[in-house]
């Protein structure tokens, strides 16, 4: 009887844990299922009470009406361009800055790292107007430059994230590479960056999601509809007096597909990067 009791406890707690996790997962996925379902409904069904989880008649033409209402294809291309440049800029600039702060000895290194961390504490609203004036003086208003050029000048979180990973790499490896004749730049690109694949992938996913979902910046800097990225362009489906919710949900489904694809492709390396970064300060 005691053996049966021990075996029962052995299976009881995992079963309860998986049941709780399943319920939480269902709660998390429900809004996405509702979004997809609504994208195939008519306006009448979207506002019906009590609501139906699945439409009685599937309106696939909502996606066709979406492409006729707005230049979604152009929005998609703009988003791919801006997001890709943001990812490249952040990974390139922040990896070099993080490597310098982690492995190079130079005057003011600690002060520079502290300054990078301080930027995380400054609300972006305080810099919004000065940055807008700067880009306007440069003639970048109504262009994509303000949306991706700042990524090539680094960011506090990305520098901190990669620095923590670089610190977890044994310093002896860096010193041995220098003895073998590599320059610090060679050590970074030939040794540290290949080892930092999990951290770089994680940071790339974070940057991709942040850039792809950015709504405010395009609305501030871009005036021409055809230059809008997807997230900002879809906001024009909602007007002051009326909104076609099924078409808006169709746009939301289209906008979330690239994020799901990126995360699915990189999820294994992404989880590894979360687990291995920031272990050493």
Three-state SS string over 104-140 comes to CCCCCHHHHHHHHHHHHHCCHHHHHHHHHHHHHHCCC
HSE toward the beta carbon, residue 217, CA cutoff 13 A: 23
Any idea which architecture 65-276 has in CATH?
Orthogonal Bundle (1.10)
Over the stretch 150-204, which tens digit does the pLDDT of each residue have?
999 988 999 999 998 899 888 888 889 899 888 999 999 999 999 888 889 889 9
Average pLDDT, whole number, for the chain?
87
pLDDT at 281: 41
Phi/psi of residue 48, nearest 5 degrees: -70, 145
pLDDT value of residue 238: 77
Say how far apart CA 215 and CA 149 lie, in whole Å.
17
Rounded mean pLDDT, 8-16: 76
User: For the chain, what are the domain ranges?
Assistant: 2-38, 65-276
Name which of 1-15, 178-192, 225-239 the model is least confident about. 1-15
> Residue 68: is its pLDDT beyond 80?
yes
Rounded Cα–Cα distance for residues 158 and 97 (Å): 10
Taking residues 57-68, what's their average pLDDT? Answer: 89
Q: Which residues have CB under 8 Å from 144's CB, separation 6+? A: 78, 81, 82, 222, 227
Query: Apex CA 56: angle with CA 50 and CA 62, to 5°?
Result: 105
pTM for this predicted structure: 0.84
Look at residue 225 and tell me whether its pLDDT is greater than 70.
Answer: yes
Tally the C-alpha atoms within 13 A of residue 50's C-alpha that lie toward its C-beta.
Answer: 1
User: Is 39 exposed, middle or buried (CB count within 10 Å of its CB: 0-12, 13-18, 19+)?
Assistant: buried
List Cβ neighbours of 30 (8 Å cut-off, separation of 6 or more): none
Neighbours of 99 (CB within 10 A): 24
pLDDT in tens, 69-101: 889 999 999 999 999 999 999 999 999 999 999
Is pLDDT at 270 greater than 70 in this prediction? Answer: no
pLDDT on residue 1: 45
Tell me how far apart the alpha carbons of residues 114 and 132 are, in angstroms, rounded to a whole number. Answer: 26
Looking at the predicted structure, is the pLDDT value of residue 264 above 90?
A: no
């Amino acid at each position: 009887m005691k053996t049966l009791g021990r075996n029962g406890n052995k299976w009881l707690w995992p079963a309860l844990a998986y049941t709780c996790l399943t319920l939480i997962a269902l709660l998390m996925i429900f809004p996405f299922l509702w979004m997809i379902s609504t994208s195939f409904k008519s306006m009448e069904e979207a506002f019906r009470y009590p609501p139906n989880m699945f439409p009685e008649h599937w309106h696939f033409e909502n996606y066709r009406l979406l492409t006729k209402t707005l230049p979604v294809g152009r929005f998609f291309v703009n988003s791919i361009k801006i997001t890709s440049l943001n990812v490249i800029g952040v990974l390139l600039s922040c990896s070099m800055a993080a490597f310098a702060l982690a492995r190079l000895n130079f005057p003011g290194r600690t002060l520079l790292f502290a300054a990078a961390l301080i930027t995380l504490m400054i609300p972006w609203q305080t810099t919004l107007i000065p940055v807008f004036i700067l880009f306007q003086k440069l003639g970048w208003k109504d262009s994509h430059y303000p949306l991706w050029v700042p990524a090539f000048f680094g960011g506090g979180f990305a520098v901190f994230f990669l620095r923590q990973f670089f610190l977890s790499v044994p310093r002896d490896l860096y010193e041995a590479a220098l003895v073998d004749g590599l320059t610090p730049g060679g050590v970074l690109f030939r040794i540290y960056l290949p080892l930092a694949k999990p951290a770089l992938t994680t940071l790339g996913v974070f940057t991709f999601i942040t850039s792809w979902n950015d709504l405010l910046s395009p609305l501030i800097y871009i005036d021409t509809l055809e230059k809008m990225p997807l997230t900002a362009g879809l906001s024009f489906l909602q007007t002051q007096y009326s909104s076609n919710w099924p078409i808006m949900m169709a746009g939301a489904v289209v906008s979330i597909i690239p994020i799901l694809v990126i995360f699915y492709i990189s999820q294994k390396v992404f989880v590894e990067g979360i687990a291995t970064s920031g272990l050493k300060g």
